Chain A
Amino acid sequence: MSATNSPRGFLAKTISYKGGIGHWSWILHRLGGLGIAAFLILHILDIFMVGVSKEAFEALLFIYHAAIIRPFIWALLFGVFYHAFNGIRIIIQDFWPHMFKYQKQMATAVWIIVLVLVIPLIGIDIMNLLTHG
């Protein structure tokens, strides 16, 4: 049992470990994945309310309508897009090992693709909020 086996030891090791961009990708991929899984439970339950009654569903619509929740939606958007495109990078490296030499370039490309997709979506969400003010 090394120090990494306790949560505190793991955290210390995670922060101090100098694994480079691949290591940070790994941390973001796992944190994002766990966050998405947690949101999915909430998301399925709120959609389940569509089958209960119109009132039950609309009682939960603040999740998608309220300005105060929107930053969490944006964090989730970023998390989903990052997990999706970093996942594609992992698939490429796992199935085509010779691509491993481009790991850094691909990790950078993941960030560019994610930001190019997420930033306009955030803009649309803000416009949408303003027009419904």
Chain B
Amino acid sequence: MASMTKYARSPRPQGSGFELASWFYMRVSGAILSLMIVFHLMWMHYVIGLNNITFDVIAGRWTDPNVGTLWRTFDLVLLILALVHGINGTRFALEDYIHNRGWRVFAKTLLFVVFFFVIIAGAYVIFTFNG
């Protein structure tokens, strides 16, 4: 990983292995996430308003008989796409800055463990919440 590559931020990795799949994932998920996150932020700030967020607002959107499943699906897709994008992006930074192999493996292991539990926790509450 060249952290100081001039201009071209991230040339497409050669071959067809994990790094190429990772390169495509960041771009495809990034394009989808851009649309979803703009919607998410506009909704929470404009439509609801930060100071109007309460337990009942969140519970209401997940348990709504008409659109509850749609909201849970939206939140689940956002959760998974964003966190996997975040893990992979953080991995790029760790690989750029940690040159000692042992520390790099340690940092990446910690990264995967933390994000794994966060994804499980997020998905768990989306699937099991019942008011």
B58 at the A interface (CB under 8 A): yes
| Cross-chain contact A1 with B99 (CB below 8 angstroms) | yes
A88 at the B interface (CB under 8 A): yes
How large, as a class, is the contact surface on chain A? 35 or more
How far apart sit A10 and B38, CA to CA, in the bound complex (Å)? 33
CB-CB contacts of A92-130 with B at 8 A, as 1s and 0s?
A: 001100000001000000000000010001001100110
Smallest beta-carbon distance A122→chain B, Å: 9
Centre residue among A64, A81, A103, A129 by max chain B CB count within 10 A: A64
CB-CB contacts of A56-100 with B at 8 A, as 1s and 0s?
A: 011001001100001001000100110011011011001100000
Contacts of A44 in B (CB 8 A): 79, 83, 118-119, 121-122
B106 at the A interface (CB under 8 A): no
| Cross-chain contact B34 with A84 (CB below 8 angstroms) | yes
How large, as a class, is the contact surface on chain B? 35 or more
B residues with CB within 8 A of A = 3-4, 6-7, 9-10, 12, 27, 30-31, 33-34, 37-38, 41-42, 45-46, 49-55, 58-59, 62, 79, 82-83, 86-87, 89-90, 93, 97, 99, 114-115, 118-119, 121-122, 124-125, 128-129
How far apart sit A125 and B87, CA to CA, in the bound complex (Å)? 30
Q: A80-B41, A124-B46 given as contacts; is B55 within 8 A of A51 (CB)?
A: no
Contacts of B30 in A (CB 8 A): 84, 87-88, 90-91
| Cross-chain contact A61 with B41 (CB below 8 angstroms) | no
Can you name 16 A-B residue pairings with CB atoms under 8 Å?
A4-B4, A22-B9, A33-B90, A34-B90, A37-B89, A37-B90, A41-B118, A45-B118, A48-B121, A50-B129, A61-B53, A73-B50, A103-B7, A121-B45, A124-B46, A129-B50
